[in-house]
């Protein structure tokens, strides 16, 4: 056992030296845990921010002025008045996401209870802003009309006072979600790519033959690749959470980083084993990339990191329970977003242990078969 552990340690050091000598892989690790996290978090916004609004005011009343004045940043840009004849042109040119049109005698008809019609044109090519922004504008218009008719700025038609409390993300900022999820997704992607690339590199450089004549077993070779590449990924992920997510983006981490690292270690055994398993079916990096790409896409899209699991059909949810990424995402979200402790996340950790053992055994059997055929 002692010699077995020594072999795993020394082979792992060899993997780390090989990784250090590969500037492309080093640059990839730095990029995906730094700029890629920042770019995704700040570039793909899910909430309505600075949506452009124009309006046509054929009434020129106090009510229309109140409605326009209530459309404020940061959700909307300052509304711009346009002529009625320009509505079609500005919508076709994509100058504005929303165009409000107030008809003549709008205020008088409202006060008389005649329920006048006003038009809201929406550029639905900007789907997120179109859907959420239209709801916000309807709420603003309804609130202003209600207060105007009641002649009381505090008036409301609701018989109750509904208080909404947003837990874990009080300002509903998509950056808080997307930055952490990007780190989690990158752990999965790099775990598969680095371990698979390590095995392909052995073949391309001819060092796999050296390993075959050494007194080492396939399990020692596999575990060495897993701990060496896993260590690099964990260090990069933790630094990304501290420096990029918390430091630059200002996103708070609610739970224990140490518990997250423990769960990540359990998860890495399965996903790095998957990388080695995929690499045994290929002979070059292009082949490995083509085989790994659809697997990674499915794991990321259907793991709950992009869309909630509840949005996925039930039969597909059941299938995805055999994917370790599903339980890792659930585990990570509970800790990093909601500050959950071991008493909450232990079921996911237990499942990850079982899946890690299954993936490791499958990869080891296939790896032994590959080495035997190479020998």
Q: Specify the CATH number for 53-150; select among 1.20.1260.60, 2.90.10.10, 3.40.50.300, 3.40.1710.10.
A: 3.40.1710.10
Residues 40, 245: Cα–Cα separation, whole Å: 11
Distance CA 323, CA 77 (A): 44
Q: Model confidence over 249-279: pLDDT tens digits?
A: 999 999 999 999 999 999 999 999 999 999 9
Residue 332 φ then ψ, to 5°: -70, -40
Q: Cα-atom radius of gyration of the chain, to the nearest Å?
A: 28
pLDDT of residue 372: 66
Q: Which residues of the chain have pLDDT under 70?
A: 44-46, 152-162, 206, 208-213, 372-375
Strand partners, 156: none
The pLDDT of residue 358 is 93
* List of residues 6+ apart from 17 with CB closer than 8 A: none
pLDDT value at position 158?
52
User: Structural domain boundaries of the chain?
Assistant: 2-44+173-374, 53-150
Task: Give residue 187's pLDDT.
Answer: 95
């Amino acid at each position: 056992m002692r010699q077995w552990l020594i072999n795993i340690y020394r082979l792992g050091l060899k993997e780390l030296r090989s990784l250090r000598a590969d500037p492309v892989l080093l640059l990839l690790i730095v990029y995906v845990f730094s700029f890629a996290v920042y770019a995704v978090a700040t570039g793909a916004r899910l909430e309505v921010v600075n949506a452009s609004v124009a309006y046509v005011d054929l009434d020129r009343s106090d009510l229309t002025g109140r409605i326009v004045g209530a459309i404020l940043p940061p959700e909307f840009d300052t509304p711009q008045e346009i002529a009625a004849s320009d509505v079609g042109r500005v919508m076709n040119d994509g100058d504005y996401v929303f165009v409000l049109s107030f008809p003549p005698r709008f205020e008088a008809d409202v006060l008389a209870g005649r329920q006048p019609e006003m038009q809201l044109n929406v550029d639905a090519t900007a789907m997120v802003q179109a859907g959420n922004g239209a709801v916000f504008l309807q709420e603003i218009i309804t609130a202003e009309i209600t207060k105007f008719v009641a002649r009381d700025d505090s008036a409301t038609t609701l018989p109750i006072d509904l208080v909404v409390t947003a837990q874990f993300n009080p300002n509903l900022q998509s950056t808080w979600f997307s930055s952490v999820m990007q780190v989690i997704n990158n752990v999965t992607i790099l775990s598969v790519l680095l371990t698979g690339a390590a095995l392909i590199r052995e073949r391309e450089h001819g060092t796999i033959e050296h390993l075959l004549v050494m007194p080492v077993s396939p399990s020692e070779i596999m575990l060495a690749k897993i701990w060496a590449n896993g260590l690099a990924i964990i260090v990069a992920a933790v630094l990304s959470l501290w420096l990029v997510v918390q430091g630059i983006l200002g996103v708070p981490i609610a739970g224990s980083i140490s518990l997250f690292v423990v769960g990540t270690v359990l998860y890495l055994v399965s996903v790095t084993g998957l990388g080695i398993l995929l690499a045994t079916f290929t002979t070059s990096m292009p082949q490995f990339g083509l085989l790994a790409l659809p697997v990674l896409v499915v794991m990321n899209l259907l793991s709950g990191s992009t869309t909630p699991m509840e949005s996925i059909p039930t039969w597909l949810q059941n299938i995805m329970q055999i994917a370790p990424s599903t339980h890792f995402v659930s585990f990570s979200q509970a800790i990093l977003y909601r500050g959950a402790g071991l008493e909450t996340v232990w079921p996911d950790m237990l499942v990850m242990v079982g899946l890690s053992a299954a993936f490791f055994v499958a990869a080891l059997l296939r790896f032994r078969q590959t080495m035997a055929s190479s020998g």
